[in-house]
């Protein structure tokens, strides 16, 4: 907002709403998805397209068209549009009044704010670039799933880089996952004679496993972590009526739909338990996934990785201003909801029914 208007976006439209009476002053249409607006002086810089979190499973999806649009904040007139970005566009940053910088899937792009023309384009070589920000040195810092790097905002050249891949699966886990996948394909496309007898035996054994860790835990931003946790808790929620609500007669149509849905769910679960191909496929995915985490907390980017010089896995904290890995915290269990308290110099993480505090003060 500014002194006169509140600026909103939705369904490809950007609107200026008067603060005194709530009336729409102007409306810019057909821009595409508009997840970000930056007001600089009398110009609105609108990012179109980007990476979004799918709420049902917490996975990241990419939606276009990708680019930046400049709009006059007083009249709603489109000044220019830049459409040269590729998939996976990050947020936009303004290192100075005449420059916009952003990253797409492959490159770091510099745009002139006066005319929307691209000044430069250089490869950033970061897999799954998720965000861009300016550090204290006015360098553009780009973070991804396993890597973070800083670039000079004037030249686009790399300044520093840190890479921390997630822990490996281990040889035994990899072999078992491949074997389970092969067995799954055999039961799915092999002979049906062995499926009836052996299928029930295998399904019984595999069904006793806990699949709580089946979905690979990953966190690239606060929204991603929130959506993933929400999806998990939603899958485990069950609703029950008590008291008067339990004795009240429900709507017949609703009750019939619930009975039909419940019957289908029971049938699906029964078939799932008796199908060895499906169970082995789940076992393969469970063994094949890698626990990963990349989260920005304050001035540090934390990666869950195999710590060098410290036995076991944990969090490596990279300072976004210097590029130095000046924090290493060994964790027994990965907790994507960990909290860093910079005032107390502590990092808090959950492990089962315990809360553990680690000192990160220097």
- The model's pLDDT over 8-47, given as tens digits with 9 standing for 90+, comes to 998 889 999 999 999 999 999 989 899 899 999 899 999 9
Return the closest-CA partner of residue 139 out of 152, 120, 126.
Answer: 152
Indicate if the alpha-carbon torsion angle 27, 29, 33, 34 is positive or negative.
Answer: negative
- The model's pLDDT over 59-93, given as tens digits with 9 standing for 90+, comes to 778 888 899 999 999 999 999 999 988 878 889 99
In this predicted structure, what is the pLDDT of residue 4?
94
In this predicted structure, what is the pLDDT of residue 288?
53
Question: Taking residues 186-201, what's their average pLDDT?
Answer: 50
Residue 158, classed as helix, strand or coil, is strand
In this predicted structure, what is the pLDDT of residue 251?
46
The phi and psi torsions of 81 (rounded to 5 degrees) equal: -135, 135
Global confidence as pTM: 0.70
First to last CA, the chain: 40
157 pLDDT more than 80: yes
Structure tokens at 140: 């553009």
342 pLDDT more than 70: yes
Any idea where the domains of the chain sit in the sequence? Answer: 5-89, 171-236+244-288, 294-359
The strand pairing partners of 64, in sequence order, are: none
Distance CA 55, CA 267 (A): 26
The strand pairing partners of 53, in sequence order, are: 60
- The model's pLDDT over 232-291, given as tens digits with 9 standing for 90+, comes to 443 344 333 334 434 444 444 445 555 555 555 555 555 555 566 666 666 666 555 567
Distance CA 90, CA 81 (A): 17
Contact between residue 89 and residue 107 where contact means Cβ atoms under 8 Å apart: no
- The model's pLDDT over 92-143, given as tens digits with 9 standing for 90+, comes to 999 999 999 999 999 999 999 999 999 999 999 998 888 899 999 999 999 9
Helix spans in the chain (H): 171-189, 193-207, 222-236, 244-247, 252-274, 276-288
Torsion angle in degrees (nearest 10) through CA of 280, 336, 37, 137: -130
Helix, strand, coil abundance in the chain, percent, nearest 5: 25, 35, 40
- The model's pLDDT over 282-338, given as tens digits with 9 standing for 90+, comes to 666 655 556 778 888 889 999 999 887 667 889 999 999 999 999 999 988 888 889
Q: Burial level of 108, CB count in 10 A (0-12/13-18/19+)?
A: buried
Residue 100 CB partners (closer than 8 Å, separation 6+): 45, 68, 92, 93, 94, 110, 111, 112, 113
By DSSP bridging, strand 354-359 and strand 346-351 are antiparallel
Which CATH number is 5-89 given?
2.40.10.480
Please report which confidence band the pLDDT of residue 145 belongs to, taking 50, 70 and 90 as the band edges.
confident
In this predicted structure, what is the pLDDT of residue 209?
46
């Amino acid at each position: 907002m500014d002194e006169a208007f509140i600026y909103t976006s939705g369904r490809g439209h950007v609107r200026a709403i008067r603060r005194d009476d709530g009336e729409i002053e102007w409306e810019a249409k057909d821009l595409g998805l508009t997840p970000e607006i930056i007001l600089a002086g009398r110009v609105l810089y609108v990012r179109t397209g980007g990476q979004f979190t799918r709420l049902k499973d917490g996975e990241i999806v990419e939606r276009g068209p990708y680019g930046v649009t400049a709009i006059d904040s007083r009249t709603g007139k489109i000044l220019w549009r830049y459409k040269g970005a590729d998939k996976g566009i990050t947020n936009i940053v303004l290192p100075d009044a005449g420059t916009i910088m952003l990253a797409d899937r492959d490159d770091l792009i510099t745009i002139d704010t006066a005319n929307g023309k691209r000044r430069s384009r250089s490869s950033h070589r970061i897999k799954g670039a998720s965000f861009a920000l300016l550090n204290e040195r006015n360098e553009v810092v780009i973070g991804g799933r396993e890597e973070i790097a800083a670039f000079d905002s004037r030249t686009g050249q790399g300044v520093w880089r840190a890479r921390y891949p997630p822990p490996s699966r281990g040889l035994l886990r990899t072999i078992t996952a491949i074997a389970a996948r092969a067995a799954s394909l055999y039961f799915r496309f092999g002979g049906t004679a062995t499926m009836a007898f052996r299928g029930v035996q295998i399904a019984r054994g595999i069904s006793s496993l806990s699949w709580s860790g089946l979905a690979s835990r990953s966190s690239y931003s606060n929204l991603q972590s929130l959506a993933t946790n929400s999806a998990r808790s939603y899958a485990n929620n069950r609703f029950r009526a008590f008291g008067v609500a339990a004795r009240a007669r429900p709507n017949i149509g609703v009750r019939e739909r619930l009975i039909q849905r419940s019957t289908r769910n029971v049938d699906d679960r029964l078939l799932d338990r008796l199908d060895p191909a499906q169970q082995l496929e789940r076992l393969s995915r469970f063994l094949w996934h890698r626990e990963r985490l990349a989260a920005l907390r304050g001035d540090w980017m934390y990666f869950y990785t195999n710590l060098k010089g410290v036995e076991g896995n944990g969090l490596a904290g990279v300072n976004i201003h210097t590029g130095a890995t000046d924090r290493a915290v060994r964790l027994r269990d990965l907790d994507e909801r960990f909290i860093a308290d910079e005032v107390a110099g502590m990092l808090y993480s959950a492990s089962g029914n315990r809360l553990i505090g680690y000192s990160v003060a220097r």
